Amino acid sequence: MDITKDKLLEKLEFFSNFKFNKNYNDLTKEEKFVAITDSIMALTSKDWTDQLGKKARQRKAYYFSAEFLIGRSLGNNLLNLGIYDLVNSILEEKGDRIKDIENEEEDAALGNGGLGRLAACFLESAASQGFNLDGYGIRYSEGLFKQFFKDGFQAEEGDDWSSFYNPWSKRIVSDEKIIKFKNQTVKACPYDMPIFGYKNGQINRLRLWQAEAVNEFDFNRFNNFDYDGAVREKNEAEDLTRVLYPNDERREGKLLRIKQQYFFVSASLQDIVSNYKKNFDDKEFKHFHEYVSIQLNDTHPVIGIPELIRILLDEEKISFEDSFNIARKIFNFTNHTILREAMEVWSVDLIDETSPRVLEIIQMIEQRLVEELYNKGFKEEEINFLRIVKDDSIHMANLAIFVSNKVNGVAELHTNILKNETLKDWYGAYPYKFTNKTNGVTQRRWLIYSNMELSDFIDRKLGSNEWREDFSKIKELEKFAEDEPSIREFLEIRKKKKIELTEIIKETTGIDVDPNSIFDVQVKRLHEYKRQLLNALHIVYLYHRLKEDKNFISEKRTFIFGAKAAPAYFRAKAVIKFINEIARVINNDKDIDGKIKVVFLENFRVSLGEKIYPACDFSEQISTAGKEASGTGNMKFMMNGAITIGTYDGANVEIFEKAGEENNIRFGKTVEELMEIKPNYDPYKIYQEDIYIKNALDSLMSGEFKDNESYMFLDIYNSLLKSEGGDRADRYFVLEDFESYRKAQEKISEVYKDEMRFGKMCLLNIANSAYFSSDRTIREYAEEIWKLESHN
Ligand code: 7GP
């Protein structure tokens, strides 16, 4: 790919005329964004086409995921194509700023949080390392809802992300597939997005399916004045991929949801099978598994297992035995959560309503499972426990584990919990299937693109930019940990990023914050187990102390939050309201001399994250031990030099191990300790015995913070102190860990005060973040699970 200034200028003018009947200089910013992306697509399309042809005959892995949380693409694509600076200079000559154009792009928010963003990082890392990994998913018309605050409450609106333009994808009509449900037949139309590798010429593909009607319009109905009936089929078909379900870590037993899942995996598998037939002469599918490996991103695409068997058995006339064995070789399964609420279980009725044939095949698989376990010497109760079909429900994780080649967790601690607790019987039966693949994030988006200043600094210090491709080289930064001028320079860059965030905060919330204050940040989905509430209660505690004594803390603190709550998750929304009230009261209280400020940024999303991670001093990773499978925000913060204040949970464990506990702040009970405490845990006792904790909790009820009669604060209060409907009081041990968290928070001030020490700690976190690159993760998947070679 040779994209030169002349070619770019020519294409820019061409698309300005072609699309808008204007000259480039007369375009609006939004139109300029479109002209630029169209130019990039045009200039890379020949290469893409050639590579699609070539790669169709090579071994490939496919990432099946109901979510791809891509965010914006312009900046990253320019960076990966090696033309960011070139485009920047062209735009400057024309009097535009590239950042303004980038801001025109809507986030493609086709995912909820960690799981979806991981899928996006994986595609980018695979392309950058020359692995054939393609993505398959759903093209939702409405992405994750947009969040705004109304009187401090979360409100939601739709995210019609692609209505005006969607320049990064091509609709490939000739590859449409037909999907048959029990009572409905629809078309699946693919939209292909290029995934550019970093300066290596590789282009992989993300194919997202959109549901459309087979017959868009019923002319006879229209003629008989039945206008709704005339477009009923169209609407019902399009409903299938209309919206992303806004829940993470919670299942939703809705027919539409299982139909979405079946829709996209059926289309993807038909696609893979028909390409195989086109490219290979192997009617018996004897070599299929030599060319295809599929990674199932959690249970959402697991219905693909019986669907592939159905296609091979019913359409390709392969025996059940052979079809089953093929499935067993090509599928692999990743689990992303240990929360009970997230394990998908579908009623037999709903599967039948989706596809009766798939249900039959699941029952045939079930039979195999029972036989196999019986032959392994398992007793009846043991077998019953592992059944796929239990009490008229289908347990998707059981189906996935039984048929998959490999099963993985996403951090060491998580995989161990799976092996020894959640899935211990499965581990007993099939130990060789289990493997760990600790998550990672792409340093291209989360460091090089988001933090160009820091990246230039690293280039200068290391005397080369090789670390951008080979992230293990980042370790060399360690040499500068004791070098005062380097640390000073580094701290200056951090300051600049904080000032930039300060401006965003001012613009979006009106709040003035001091860039010299400590930026203490918690951004992630809102969940009880992630314990934003612990953070909030601690802020209330600090505030109470400051009311007694203005000098209770020496360093000014800014607490920054970003979090969406699932629209139906009452308690999560209560926590948002609580934090917003805390912010309102504290930010307006003159008594405390602005010692603390609290900011809750609306609508946390990928493109906002890109501005937040580089500006953070302390990264809050405070989930209840054993609950966060991995976390990936923790890695984005670390790469940008933030110090983790965290529990011994998920990948925090590995962060502490790699960067040293002395360079981070660890607190809270471990998984084992909590297990011991659990049977006799009494949060009420803690509440009564610690006056500060009591005051903080009582602020929920005393009127100090007001919930506008929504009873939200009562709900929070009760959740901490009262057991309800089988749930213990304080299920997530907020009060148990409070004291330890308070001490950890004190340490923050102490660490920050000593600038050189602080800078050194930050630098050492960056220097030791190599392991958390998704390049490393993808290499492990490619070598150990997918058996792919690099084409770099
Ligand atoms: C998340 C996990 O909560 C997070 O710890 C992990 O880092 C991330 O996946 C990527 O592995 N899980 C989800 O986002 C989710 O929706 C339910 O899980 C299926």
* pLDDT on residue 1: 75
Ligand 1 centre to CA of 265 (Å) is 20
Look at residue 61 and give its three-state secondary structure.
strand
Is residue 525 part of the annotated active site? The answer reads yes
Q: Which two tokens stand for residue 325?
A: 């064995």
* Residues lower than pLDDT 50 in the chain: none
Tens-place pLDDT, residues 111-140: 999 999 999 999 999 999 999 999 999 999
Q: Is residue 749 part of a domain?
A: yes
Residue 115 Cα to ligand 1 middle (Å): 4
Bridge partner list, 333? 296, 407
- Mutation pick for ligand 1 pocket among 336, 344, 527, 638 (CB with most ligand atoms within 8 Å): 336
Q: Could you list the residue range(s) of the whole structural domain that residue 132 is in?
A: 58-64+107-439
Whether residue 469 is contained in a domain is answered as no
516 in the same domain as 393 = no
**Residue 471, both tokens:** 């992230």
Q: Are residues 122 and 12 in the same domain?
A: no
- What is the 3-state secondary structure of 147-177? EEEECCEEEEECCCCCCCCCCCCEECHHHCE
Tell me how far apart the alpha carbons of residues 196 and 202 are, in angstroms, rounded to a whole number: 6
Index of the ligand 1 atom closest to the CA of residue 337 = 18
User: What span, in angstroms and rounded, lies between the C-alpha atoms of 456 and 438?
Assistant: 28
Do residues 238 and 263 make contact, with C-beta atoms less than 8 angstroms apart? Answer: no
Q: How far apart are CA 195 and CA 193, in angstroms?
A: 6
Q: What is the dihedral of CA 635, 636, 640, 642, to 10 degrees?
A: -60
Whether residue 791 lies inside any domain: the answer is no
Ligand 1 pocket check for 301: Cβ under 6 Å: no
Is 644 a known active-site residue?
no
Q: What is the model's pLDDT at position 165?
A: 80
Which residue's CA is the nearest one to ligand 1's atom 18? 249
Are 229 and 215 within 8 A, CB to CB?
A: no
Interatomic CA distance for residues 148 and 160, integer angstroms: 15
Same domain assignment for residues 156 and 190? yes
Write down the pLDDT at residue 502: 98
Instruction: Provide the ipTM.
Output: 0.99
Q: Is 409 in the pocket of ligand 1 (CB under 6 A)?
A: no
Same domain, 88 and 198: no
**632 classed as catalytic:** yes
- Report how far ligand 1's centroid is from the alpha carbon of 113 (Å): 7
- Residue 298 CB–ligand 1 contact under 6 Å: yes
Task: Identify the sign of the CA torsion 406, 411, 415, 421.
Answer: negative
For 151: left if phi > 0, alpha if psi spans -120 to 50, otherwise beta; the answer is left
Q: Is 336 a catalytic residue?
A: yes
Chain mean position to CA 44: 28
- Closest C-alpha to 117, from 448, 446, 472: 446
Q: Is 268 helix (H, G, I), strand (E, B) or coil?
A: helix
Statement to judge: residues 209 and 340 lie in one domain: yes
Q: How far is the CA of 510 from the centre of ligand 1 (A)?
A: 33
Catalytic residue among 527, 557, 636, 779: 636
Do 238 and 94 belong together in one domain? no
Q: What are phi and psi of 248, to 5 degrees?
A: -115, 150
Q: How many Å lie between the centroid of ligand 1 and the Cα of residue 629?
A: 7
For residue 338, the model assigns a pLDDT of: 86
Q: Are residues 5 and 48 in the same domain?
A: yes
Is residue 782 included in any domain, yes or no? no
State the closest ligand 1 atom to the C-alpha of 628, by its place in the atom list counted from 1: 5
Query: Does residue 170 have an active-site annotation?
Result: no
CA distances, 516 to each of 499, 617, 645, 752 (Å)? 9, 11, 19, 11
- To which residue do tokens 């692995």 refer? 131
Check whether residue 613 and residue 567 sit in a common domain.
yes
Mutate to test the pocket of ligand 1, among 69, 248, 257, 621 (most ligand atoms within 8 A of CB): 248
In a domain, 471, yes or no: no
The conformation of residue 256, written as its DSSP 8-state character, comes to H
Residue 588, in any domain of the structure: yes
Query: How many CA atoms does the CB half-sphere of 279 hold within 13 Å?
Result: 18
612, 442, 504: which is closest to 73 by C-alpha?
Answer: 442
For residues 712 and 725, what is the distance between their CA atoms, to the nearest angstrom? 18
Q: Decide: 632 in ligand 1 pocket, CB within 6 A.
A: yes
Name the β-bridge partners of 179. 186
State how many domains the chain has.
Answer: 3
The active-site residue out of 444, 524, 527, 658 is: 524
What CATH number does residue 425 fall under? 3.40.50.2000
Please state the atom number of ligand 1 nearest to the C-alpha of residue 67.
Answer: 16
How many residues are recorded in the chain? Answer: 792
- Partnered with residue 620 across adjacent β-strands are 645
Q: Are residues 387 and 358 located together in one domain of the fold?
A: yes
Identity (one letter) of the amino acid at 392? D
Pull the structure tokens for residue 72.
Answer: 């914006």
Dist. CA 473–CA 551, nearest whole Å = 44
Note whether 92 and 201 are same-domain residues. no
Q: Where are the alpha helices (DSSP H) in 379-435?
A: 380-386, 396-403, 412-417, 424-429
Query: Is residue 453 included in any domain, yes or no?
Result: no
Reading phi first (left if > 0) and then psi (alpha if -120 to 50, else beta), residue 201 is in left
571 Cβ contact partners less than 8 Å away, ≥ 6 residues apart: 528, 715, 716, 719
Angle between helix axes 320-330 and 396-403 (nearest 10 degrees) is 90
Could you give the 3-state DSSP secondary structure of residue 72? coil
Residues 772-783 have pLDDT tens digits of 999 999 999 999
Contacts with 69 (C-beta within 8 Å, 6 or more apart), sequence order: 108, 109, 110, 111, 112, 113, 116, 117, 119, 120, 144, 606
DSSP state of 640: T
- Give the residue among 475, 776, 744 at the shortest CA–CA distance from 619: 744
Q: Do residue 88 and residue 111 come from a single domain? A: no
Residue 473 bears catalytic tag? no
- 652 CA to middle of ligand 1, Å? 14
Q: What pLDDT is recorded for position 633?
A: 98
* 3-state percent breakdown (helix, strand, coil) of the chain, nearest 5: 55, 15, 30
Token code pair at residue 104: 């025109």
Q: Is the CB of 628 under 6 A from ligand 1?
A: yes
Query: Is the residue at 470 inside a domain?
Result: no
Contact of 39 with 10, CB cutoff 8 Å: no
31 lines ligand 1 (CB under 6 A): no
Tokens of 74: 């312009």
Based on the fold, state whether residues 630 and 654 are members of the same structural domain: yes
Residue from 45, 59, 50 nearest 279 by CA? 59
* Atom 8 of ligand 1: nearest residue by CA position: 114
